[in-house]
A = this chain, B = another copy of it.
């Protein structure tokens, strides 16, 4: 039986844009595990109440329920060791730093470029919740958060320097082959790619060239994803 995954969707159920759900989609594809995704919206808490928490991704694997993209990656690695996501215990521990960096720097950084755009693609029933919760988090309106984004692009691009330094020495964050470190970063970048038309990267940025290679993996999983 396929793994079932609740996956954040927009008003268009085919539009999937959660940076965390995409990490899981890439990890599942890396393992060659088929998945049946269930479109889920921010206000569909009841639909995942069985997981004991309120966020996606949530996977159900023959009765086992796992939530949180990092916990899901660990679960998949433990259940299906090959092909590996982490390359062992130390590789897993080091990947957690990449995960933490993506959460702290990438997600926070990208939000300030696209959070108002998200309002246009999410389900109408989610809009009041989304605006209220995000405006409380940022302490200002979504419009004010996103304003002047062109002027902030250079600083955002600078924040990606660690990825560029790694890609000078190896083709993937995982080294000679993609690993969950690659899935973390490309999954996070699927969020602006699918939810907004604002271009965060220059075409010739080594990060964009690596992203291009990632989009082609697993039968073009990322490349074929619907965009806003």
Interface on A for B, CB 8 Å cutoff? 84, 86-101, 103-105, 161-166, 169-170, 172-176, 179, 181
Do A174 and B90 contact each other (CB < 8 Å), given the known contacts A97-B166, A162-B97, A166-B97? yes
Q: Which residue of B lies closest to A86 (CB)?
A: B90
Cβ contacts under 8 Å, A84 to chain B: 90
Q: A93-B179, A94-B174 are in contact. List 10 more A-B contacts (CB 8 A).
A: A87-B94, A90-B175, A91-B91, A93-B172, A94-B94, A94-B173, A100-B161, A100-B165, A101-B162, A103-B162
Other-chain contact of A88, B91, B162, B169 (Cβ < 8 Å): B91
User: Once the chains bind, are B100 and A179 in contact (CB under 8 Å)?
Assistant: no
Q: Are A89 and B176 in contact, CB atoms less than 8 angstroms apart?
A: yes
- Give the CA-CA distance A86 to B103 in the complex, in Å: 23
Please give, as numbers and ranges, the residues of chain B lying within 8 Å of A96 by CB-CB distance. Answer: 166, 169-170
Q: Report the separation of the CA atoms of residues A86 and B88 in the bound assembly, to the nearest whole angstrom.
A: 10
- Pairwise interchain contact A166-B100, C-beta atoms closer than 8 A: yes
CA distance A190 to B221 in the complex (A): 44
What residues on B are CB-neighbors of A92 within 8 Å? 175
Q: Are B94 and A98 in contact, CB atoms less than 8 angstroms apart?
A: yes
Contact of A87 among B90, B165, B181 (CB under 8 A): B90
- Cα(A161)–Cα(B165), bound, Å: 20
Complex interface: chain B residues within 8 A of A98 (CB): 94, 97
